[in-house]
């Protein structure tokens, strides 16, 4: 059984301007010891997906449908009491900005011990020892001295290490990392990613890595979800996503990254601007920016279609290719429509 | 393309900020400490380094947004010294800022934002001329004429950055300092803006100083790249060369830390790890600033800052042991 099973998750924010469907029908599973990457641009719903799992949405946000099962236990509608036991204990999170996610008025030691005392049966002495042990684990020098210091005495990279120590102190089964290295320099980013990778192997936990950086994904993720405008457009193993992308948005993203080969040449950007979530189009949300948009894309959003056992995408182009290559047979006009409507699997 | 005539020359530029450490005491923060380089006409020089290394300060001091503590700045064979020099220089050299959200005045319409440099320098004689010029500039960056009467908040990040670029082009400059112009943008928009910088350079013969921390972006756009560490320039070389064979130990580890968006390469990639964090520029190490994190450091490195030597044609490195370790 999968450790985390998210099915048809829908999360909306109810604003004065109307309902914003930030997460729209998202499903995925996460197995023990795996690293899942969620990639997307700002506003694609990648962070909201993670916040929905922990139910730490802002006041106007609400899960409006779907189910989230952790270790077989349903979390949607489970109530605050159950969630308190899950957060920090079974599933913990590290945020993007290490500068603002620590309380400046308490020592590092106090903040680390707070999490441990809250979630475990340890007494203060044991909690202190555990906190020191955790700091040592994330390569903070002289942990005993550091325990007495305040966040302002730490650099960005060190603070992010403290955040990781805090998140891992209760040995969670899942660590959600929301852009953990975006605010850091590349050399520090490399240190943190390496640390997360080695801790993940050592402690056997699963990681959900939320990022917009495909380089980070390539380095650490086993599986990848690509999101656009609140929906999953493609999901699969890292190799499948990078070497066999099957959604026009993923292809566009990969093409638009500068590399050694593009020096002195033009990049191939995705045209247009990101979508306004208050005015979602009827069909595929990416259709207005897609160079290959067909009639069907404008009216009907493609459903998830299996490319192979490790890979699924929601793009009509796969059906078109399937028909052209003779992998999908067409008997009559009507049955084609049916097949398209049903989102028949390809290949 | 680039000609072999320097349009910008910087000689031993220093910019110290004085930080109060007590009632009547202050201490210099050496943000830029003796940097020299030149940029040829039509060329793009990329400037990279970690946060706090002084790359933004170089860009700002170059345009006299900060008064240089010492050093010389030459533009087109003429040293920029007096106030009138600076005023003339600013008609030829402009800047694009990092954050498209805070660098545009929310109370001004797009046409006022783009028109402001024209008014400041008195470049348009009539209202009609001003309006035509604004529309021409908006055309350069892919904005429509109906955008002219709108306010900045009505635009997305990518479009705001286009407005900022149009403003920097208003005075018809030769040289633009681009300070992290794409780092606040999403990947799909980033590529659009980078292409626009390319097109404008071709069309208007611009010269860029391109400051960024995203090394993939810098490699794509630059002809030559300079690496800075704690206020000093440690390496300067043609773009392809510095990526293929960096010589300074800091450049090596910086470049190996870049995550490559390709899983097979990323798994095989051997990172040259750096221990510890960048030291505070208030207490910079003696001699070579990188010696505290460098595995090749010797006593000599603590004693003196190595010279910025040309080791092969166009490839400059500041390292005592560059010959031994490569």
In the prediction, which pLDDT does A335 show? 44
Residue at token pair 């292809």:
A251
Could you give the 3-state DSSP secondary structure of residue A152? helix
Mean of per-residue pLDDT scores for chain B: 90
Q: Report the gap between the CA of B215 and the closest CA in chain A (Å).
A: 9
Q: Is residue A96 helix, strand or coil?
A: coil
CA angle A187, A190, A191 (to 5 degrees): 90
CB contact under 8 A, B221 and A258: yes
Distance in Å, alpha carbon of B277 to nearest chain A alpha carbon: 8
- Euclidean distance between CA atoms A41 and A37, whole angstroms: 13
Which one of A142, A152, A185, A271 would you mutate to disrupt binding with B, by most B Cβ within 10 Å of its Cβ?
Answer: A185
Distance CA A180, CA A186 (A): 12
Query: In sequence order, which ranges of A24-155 are alpha helices (DSSP H)?
Result: 46-54, 80-86, 108-119, 124-137, 143-147
Is some CB atom of chain A closer than 8 A to the CB atom of B203? no
**Angstrom distance (rounded) from CA A6 to CA A31:** 12
Q: Which of B196, B257, B280, B292 to mutate to test the interface with A (most CBs of A within 10 A)?
A: B257
Per-residue pLDDT at A322: 82
**Which residues 144-183 of chain B have a CB within 8 Å of chain A?**
156, 158-159
- Is the Cβ–Cβ distance between B40 and B4 less than 8 Å? yes
- Of the pLDDT bands very low, low, confident and very high (cuts 50, 70, 90), residue B317 is very high
Q: What percent of chain A has pLDDT over 70?
A: 95
Residue of B nearest to A183 (CA): B51
Residue A307: φ, ψ to 5°: -90, -50
Identify all chain B residues contacting A273, using CB atoms and an 8 Å cutoff. Answer: 156, 158-159, 189
| Per-residue model confidence (pLDDT) at position A334 | 47
Q: For residues B267-286, b (16+ Cβ closer than 10 Å) or e, as one string?
A: eebebbebeebbbebeebee
Query: Which residues on adjacent β-strands are paired with residue A70?
Result: A4, A73
pLDDT of the residue at A343: 44
Q: Which of residues 14-73 of B touch A (CB under 8 A)?
A: 50-51
pLDDT of res. A331: 58
pLDDT per residue of chain A (347 residues) written in tens, 0 to 9: 789 999 999 999 998 888 999 999 999 999 999 999 999 988 899 999 999 999 999 889 999 999 999 999 999 988 899 999 899 889 999 988 877 889 999 999 999 999 899 888 899 999 999 999 999 888 888 899 999 999 988 888 888 889 999 998 888 999 999 988 887 888 888 888 888 888 898 888 999 999 999 999 999 999 999 999 999 999 999 999 999 999 999 999 999 888 877 777 888 888 888 888 888 888 999 999 998 999 999 998 888 899 999 999 999 988 888 888 877 776 544 444 444 444 444 43
Interface contact flag, B186 A41, Cβ < 8 Å: yes
Do A263 and B220 count as a contact with CB atoms less than 8 A apart? Answer: yes
With a pLDDT cut of 70, the percent of chain B lying above it is 99
Residues A187, B188: C-beta atoms closer than 8 Å = no
Q: Beta strand pairing status for A311-313 and A231-237? A: antiparallel
d(CA B172, CA A119): 63
The whole-angstrom distance between A266's CA and the closest CA on chain B is 6
B156, B243, B277: residue with CB nearest A158: B277
CA A260 to chain B, closest CA, distance in angstroms equals 7
Q: What angle do CA B200, B204, B210 make, to 5 degrees?
A: 55
* Each residue's pLDDT tens digit, B53-108: 899 999 999 999 999 999 999 999 999 999 999 999 999 999 999 888 889 999 99
Provide the shortest C-alpha distance from residue A259 to chain B (in Å): 6
Set of chain A residues whose Cβ sits within 8 Å of the Cβ of B274: 187, 191
Residue B27, beta-bridge partner list: B19
B205 close to A (CB below 8 A): no
Query: What is the DSSP secondary-structure string of A9-52?
Result: EEEEEEETTEEEEEEEEEEEEE-TT-EEEEE--TTSSHHHHHHH
pLDDT (mean) for B42-47: 95
Count how many pairs of residues, chain A against chain B, have C-beta atoms within 8 Å. Answer: 126
Q: Which residues of A touch B264 (CB under 8 A)?
A: 239
Q: List chain B residues with CB under 8 Å of A212.
A: 186-187
A42 vs B contacts (CB less than 8 Å): 186
Q: How confident is the model at residue B195 (pLDDT cuts 50, 70, 90)?
A: very high
Q: CB-based contact (8 Å) between B186 and chain A?
A: yes
Residue in chain B closest to A223 (alpha carbons) equals B263
User: What DSSP string describes B7-52?
Assistant: EEEEEEEEEEEEEE-SSS-EEEEEEEEEEEEEEETT-EEEEE--TT
How far apart, in whole angstroms, are the C-alpha atoms of residue A327 and residue A344?
12
Residue B278 and residue B254 in contact, taking contact as beta carbons nearer than 8 Å = no
- Strands of the sheet containing A18-30, edge to edge, are A18-30, A4-15, A61-70, A73-74
Task: Among A194, A271, A273, pick the best mutation site for testing chain B contact (most B Cβ within 10 A).
Answer: A273
Predicted local confidence at residue A274, as pLDDT: 81
Rounded to two decimals, the pTM is 0.86
Which chain A residue shows the shortest CA-CA distance from B51?
A185
Q: Which residue is closest to B188 within chain A, CA to CA? A: A270
In which order are the strands placed within the sheet that holds A206-211? A91-94, A174-178, A206-211, A35-39, A223-228, A231-237, A311-313, A305-308
């Amino acid at each position: 059984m999968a450790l985390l099973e998210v099915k048809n998750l829908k999360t909306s924010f109810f604003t004065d301007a109307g309902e914003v469907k930030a997460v729209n029908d998202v499903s995925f599973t996460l197995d023990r010891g795996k690293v899942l990457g969620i990639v997307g641009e700002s506003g694609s719903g990648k962070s909201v997906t993670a916040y929905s799992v922990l139910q730490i949405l802002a006041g106007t946000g609400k899960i409006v449908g779907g189910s989230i099962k952790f270790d077989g236990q349903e979390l949607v509608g489970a109530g605050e009491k159950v969630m308190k036991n899950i957060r920090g204990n079974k599933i913990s999170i590290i945020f993007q900005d290490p500068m603002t996610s620590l309380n400046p008025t308490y020592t590092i030691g106090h903040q680390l011990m707070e999490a441990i005392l809250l979630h475990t049966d340890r007494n203060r002495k044991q909690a202190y020892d555990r906190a020191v042990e955790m700091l040592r684990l994330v390569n903070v020098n002289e942990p005993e001295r550091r325990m007495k210091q305040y966040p302002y005495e730490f650099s960005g990279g060190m603070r992010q290490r403290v955040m990781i120590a805090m998140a891992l102190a209760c040995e969670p089964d899942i660590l959600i990392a929301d852009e953990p290295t975006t605010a850091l320099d590349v050399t520090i980013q490399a240190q943190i990613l390496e640390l997360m990778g080695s801790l993940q192997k050592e402690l056997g936990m699963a990681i959900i890595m939320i990022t917009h950086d495909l380089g980070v994904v390539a380095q650490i993720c086993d599986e990848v979800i690509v999101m656009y405008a609140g929906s999953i457009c493609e999901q699969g193993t890292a190799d499948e996503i990078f070497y066999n992308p099957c959604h026009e948005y993923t292809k566009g993203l990969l093409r638009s990254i500068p590399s050694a080969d593009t020096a002195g040449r033009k990049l191939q950007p995705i045209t247009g601007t990101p979508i306004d979530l208050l005015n979602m189009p009827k069909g595929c949300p990416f259709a207005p920016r897609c160079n290959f948009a067909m009639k069907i894309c404008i009216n009907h959003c493609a459903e998830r279609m299996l490319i192979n056992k490790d890979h699924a995408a929601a793009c009509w182009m796969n059906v078109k290719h399937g028909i052209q290559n003779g992998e999908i047979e067409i008997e009559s006009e009507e049955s084609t429509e049916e097949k398209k409507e049903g989102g028949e699997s390809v290949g | 393309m680039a000609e072999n005539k320097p349009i910008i020359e910087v000689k031993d530029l220093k910019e110290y900020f004085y930080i109060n450490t007590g009632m009547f005491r202050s201490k210099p923060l050496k943000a830029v400490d003796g940097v020299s380089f030149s940029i040829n006409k039509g060329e793009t020089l990329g400037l990279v380094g970690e946060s706090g290394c002084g790359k933004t300060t170089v860009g700002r001091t170059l345009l006299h947004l900060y008064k240089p503590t010492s050093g010389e700045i030459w533009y087109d064979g003429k040293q920029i010294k007096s106030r009138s020099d600076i005023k003339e220089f600013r008609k030829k050299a402009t800047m694009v800022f990092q954050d498209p959200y805070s660098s545009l005045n929310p109370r001004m319409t797009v046409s006022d934002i783009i028109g402001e440099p024209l008014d400041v320098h008195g470049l348009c004689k009539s209202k009609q001329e001003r309006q035509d010029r604004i529309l021409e500039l908006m055309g350069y960056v892919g904005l429509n004429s109906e955008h002219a009467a709108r306010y900045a908040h009505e635009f997305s990040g990518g479009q705001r950055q286009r407005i900022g670029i149009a403003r920097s082009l208003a005075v018809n400059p030769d040289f633009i300092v681009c300070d992290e112009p794409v780092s606040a943008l999403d990947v799909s928009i980033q590529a659009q803006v980078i292409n626009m910088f390319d097109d404008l350079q071709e069309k208007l013969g611009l010269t860029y100083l391109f400051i960024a921390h995203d090394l993939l972006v810098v490699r794509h756009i630059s002809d030559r790249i300079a690496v800075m560490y704690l206020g000093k320039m440690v390496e300067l070389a043609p773009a392809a060369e510095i990526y293929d064979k960096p010589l300074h130990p800091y450049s090596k580890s910086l470049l190996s830390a870049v995550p490559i968006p390709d899983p097979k390469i990323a798994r095989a990639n051997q990172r040259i790890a750096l221990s510890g964090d960048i030291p505070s520029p208030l207490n910079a190490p003696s001699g070579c600033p990188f010696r505290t994190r460098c595995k090749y450091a010797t006593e000599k490195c603590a004693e003196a800052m190595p010279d910025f030597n040309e080791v092969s044609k166009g490839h400059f490195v500041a390292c005592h042991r560059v010959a031994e370790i490569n």
